[in-house]
Structure 1
Amino acid sequence: MTSTFCKYHPLQAATWHCSRCCIVVCDDCIQPPADPDAAPTCLLCNQELSTLQQVAPVVPFWLQYTQFMRLPLSLLGIFLLVLLFAVPIFTPSTANIPIMFCMYVIAGFYGWHLLQQAATGILKDLSIDNLRQQSTKLAIQFAAFLAAIFVALDVLAVKMPTLAHSLNIALVLVLPAILMTVAIEKQISSVMQFSQLTLIISKLRFLYVPVVLASLLLLTITSAIT
């Protein structure tokens, strides 16, 4: 049986769950009630928390592989795939890099919110309204960060293919840990916290392998597009 760890303290086991915020927290992240018999409340939304014993476990999306891989075949997913394939074909060579960057930002923005939702066990596509409502500064920052990396690798692949290939392999290994670190810390600067990245990998151990395989699939798709 695996342990569930606090969203804000990855080294501490989670003991409480907030159904509104869809997070699990430890005893240090709760608001103690005035009444000793009452349940503690969430520091974010002030709603009463429930113990993890009362919450059905969330099955990781990589254990629901078939259902997760069907998400890009939704209406919005197909539209984005067609957009990513078609736009570079009709783009003038002088505007190739800016257009590539914009396409990667759109894909990264959509993928970030899709992973955030899948982490709660909800494996269904996002609507335009959901994307608009859930749009955050962090999502835009991370999408731009990811787009800059992909564009740089694409440009480097033309001039120094061997180095670009090596960096692609390195990106496959660390991208899942980067995603988790940013999701936990809620700030884009956390991508430079190397100690946090190694901590996540060491905690997940063999469970990190299927996540890396998903990252490899993502890079394979983006390489095919470009």
Structure 2
Amino acid sequence: MKHDCHYHPGDPAKWHCGECQVHYCTRCMPDADIRQRQALCPRCNKAMRYLGAATEVVPFWNRLGAFFRYPFHSDPLMVIAICTLVPVIAPANLIGILIWLVLALALFKYTYAVINHTAEGHLKPPSVSVAFTGSGFSIVILQLLVFILMGGLVGAAAMLGGPLLMMLALAFVVLALPASIMVLAMERSVGAAVNPMNLTRLISRIGTPYFLLYGYLILLTLASGVAQDFALNHFPFWFSQPLSGFLNSTFTLILFHMLGYLLFQYQEELGFASDIQDEASEVDMQQRDRSTRFDADIDMNLKDGNYDRVQGMLKEALKRNRDDPLRIGQLYQLLTAQNDITEIFHYHPRILGWLADRNDGEGIASVLAMLEQVEPGFKLDDPDLSVRCARCLYHRQQFKPALRLLQDFHKRFPDSDELAPAYLLVAQTLANGMGQWEKATAFLTFIQKQCANHPLHEQISVFLEQAGKREPLKGPKATFVAPD
């Protein structure tokens, strides 16, 4: 069943809190331990259930093309080639029969490994080594026992209830065969694979898609039979035999991959959780940035309308790191949305510095207007911040707010190194922005007389010459000519 995140509709849920009945996506749970499948609910702090890819997996009927491409990856192709071609060139004696038997067991083992591999979220085939190494060959004996017990079930039905009960039992066995194969592949238990109640429960939990898959499996089986029959009747025996074996192995891998994918698709209904393993790289808990948990909490509280709580969280964060630009920006956006002018006044130095770093002249003008409401005639008490903000306002053609910021700068900050840059900016604002050349000349003359030791002093004559000609005050032109 598909569940969307409570806070991010459209994003598939990865976690579910049984206490709060809330679904969360990966953005809400950046600090969750996916490897251990452990996470605590942000609301109640209780352990949550991991949903894996159950809510985002593509239905099997939408990836039929991928199923048919599956056997043509390098690993399954090698398995099919070895198990098909080697018996052809094997000697026609006891050794050849043993080779054929071993390779048949290897292919059988590989097909069952495909179910497990796919159900665990691996959409790429298992490696070649899975077929020829390690344990798992016992699956052949288990499957034979399943077939024997199913045949015994049909025979017992015939003996107890006659032909009618036998046909019903046979119909159930044929219908439940894919479910039996899936159970056997996952649990390696003959009892579970032949238990009618167990198989009925699996089919009922999957529901209608099981019967849709069953139809696809019948078509695949028929197609495989037709293809093999065509090969045997239209090609010479030396070619048709390996081709028929190749086709049979290919269709078998497609069939078993589809069974594994059905388990993967309905993992939530079947009571387990798997995630797509081939595309996502997991991050260890030790490597996670704890700030992402903080951002997720802010996001969720904002969507729940807990604005005061978010404000408190941001204030606490700024106590730990007073110049954190991310938290300053978040606090500014929250206070502006709430029109909380009092708090904006309290944090105005950091907010204005953040806006100046972003060259946000409109934002600076808006904040200054709010500060004027709290304190008429408001003036910044930081000369450097005053010049930075005024420069942003000038470049955004906010000329009057820029001039107000720098008004009486020489009286307020007589010993500041920013005096010359401040009044040069005033002159540029008056001349370039407002066309008041005489006033601009007066400020340039002040710099020339009062700031003789400032590095800008030697450029003032050029600015005065430009002001006399009513040219834009841009300063000396750059030159790339090396002196003699």
TM-score (norm 2): 0.29
Q: Which residue of 1 aligns with 2:202?
A: 200
| Identity value in percent | 21
Q: Where does 1:92-103 land on structure 2 (aligned, <5 Å)?
A: 92=92, 98-103=98-103
Counterpart amino acid of 1:193? N
> Gaps spanning 5+ residues in structure 1: where?
4-13, 23-29, 41-48, 151-168
Deviation at 1:73, TM superposition (A): 0.5
Give, in whole Å, the separation in 2 of the partners of 1:74 and 1:61. 19
Q: Which residue of 1 aligns with 2:78?
A: 79
Give, in whole Å, the separation in 2 of the partners of 1:194 and 1:173. 11
Q: Which residue of 1 aligns with 2:139?
A: 142
Counterpart amino acid of 2:126? L
User: Across the two proteins, how many residue pairs are aligned to each other?
Assistant: 177
TM-score (norm 1): 0.54
Q: Where does 1:139-218 land on structure 2 (aligned, <5 Å)?
A: 139-146=136-143, 173-183=175-185, 185-213=187-215, 215-216=217-218, 217=220
Deviation at 1:174, TM superposition (A): 3.3
Secondary structure of the residue aligned to 1:58 is coil
Give, in whole Å, the separation in 2 of the partners of 1:91 and 1:147. 27
Change beyond 3 A, Cα 1:54–1:115:
closer
Deviation at 1:83, TM superposition (A): 2.4
Q: Which residue of 1 aligns with 2:106?
A: 106
Q: Which residue of 2 aligns with 1:157?
A: none
Give, in whole Å, the separation in 2 of the partners of 1:76 and 1:15. 37
Q: Which residue of 2 aligns with 1:115?
A: 115
Give, in whole Å, the separation in 1 of the partners of 2:87 and 2:173. 23
Contact 1:59/1:121 (<8 A) preserved: no
Give, in whole Å, the separation in 2 of the partners of 1:21 and 1:186. 24
Deviation at 1:114, TM superposition (A): 2.0
Give, in whole Å, the separation in 1 of the partners of 2:54 and 2:206. 22
Secondary structure of the residue aligned to 1:113 is helix
Quick check: 195-204 or 91-100, which moved more?
91-100
Deviation at 1:57, TM superposition (A): 2.5
CA RMSD in angstroms comes to: 4.7
Does residue 125 (structure 1) correspond to residue 110 (structure 2)? The answer is no
Contact 2:184/2:190 (<8 A) preserved: yes
Secondary structure of the residue aligned to 1:76 is helix
Change beyond 3 A, Cα 1:144–1:104:
farther
Give, in whole Å, the separation in 2 of the partners of 1:65 and 1:181. 23
Counterpart amino acid of 1:110? Y
Contact 2:115/2:182 (<8 A) preserved: no
Give, in whole Å, the separation in 2 of the partners of 1:103 and 1:64. 30
Contact 2:109/2:140 (<8 A) preserved: yes
Deviation per CA, 1:58-90: give whole Å up to 9, x if none: 234454221122121111211222223223434
Give, in whole Å, the separation in 2 of the partners of 1:143 and 1:219. 24
Give, in whole Å, the separation in 1 of the partners of 2:115 and 2:224. 17
Deviation at 1:213, TM superposition (A): 4.5
Give, in whole Å, the separation in 1 of the partners of 2:53 and 2:126. 28
Q: Which residue of 1 aligns with 2:472?
A: none
Give, in whole Å, the separation in 1 of the partners of 2:210 and 2:112. 18
Change beyond 3 A, Cα 1:196–1:56:
closer
Give, in whole Å, the separation in 2 of the partners of 1:93 and 1:142. 27
Give, in whole Å, the separation in 2 of the partners of 1:78 and 1:53. 30
Give, in whole Å, the separation in 2 of the partners of 1:77 and 1:202. 32
Contact 1:175/1:215 (<8 A) preserved: no
Give, in whole Å, the separation in 2 of the partners of 1:97 and 1:170. 35
Change beyond 3 A, Cα 1:207–1:96:
farther
Change beyond 3 A, Cα 1:190–1:212:
same
Quick check: 188-197 or 97-106, which moved more?
97-106
Contact 1:106/1:143 (<8 A) preserved: no
Contact 1:104/1:147 (<8 A) preserved: no
Counterpart amino acid of 1:67? A
Change beyond 3 A, Cα 1:221–1:67:
same
Give, in whole Å, the separation in 2 of the partners of 1:118 and 1:146. 19
Q: Where does 1:12-91 land on structure 2 (aligned, <5 Å)?
A: 19-20=34-35, 37-40=44-47, 50-52=49-51, 56-89=55-88, 90=90
Deviation per CA, 1:156-215: give whole Å up to 9, x if none: xxxxxxxxxxxxx98764332112323554534322212212222233343123433554
Counterpart amino acid of 1:119? A
- Structure showing greater Rg: 2
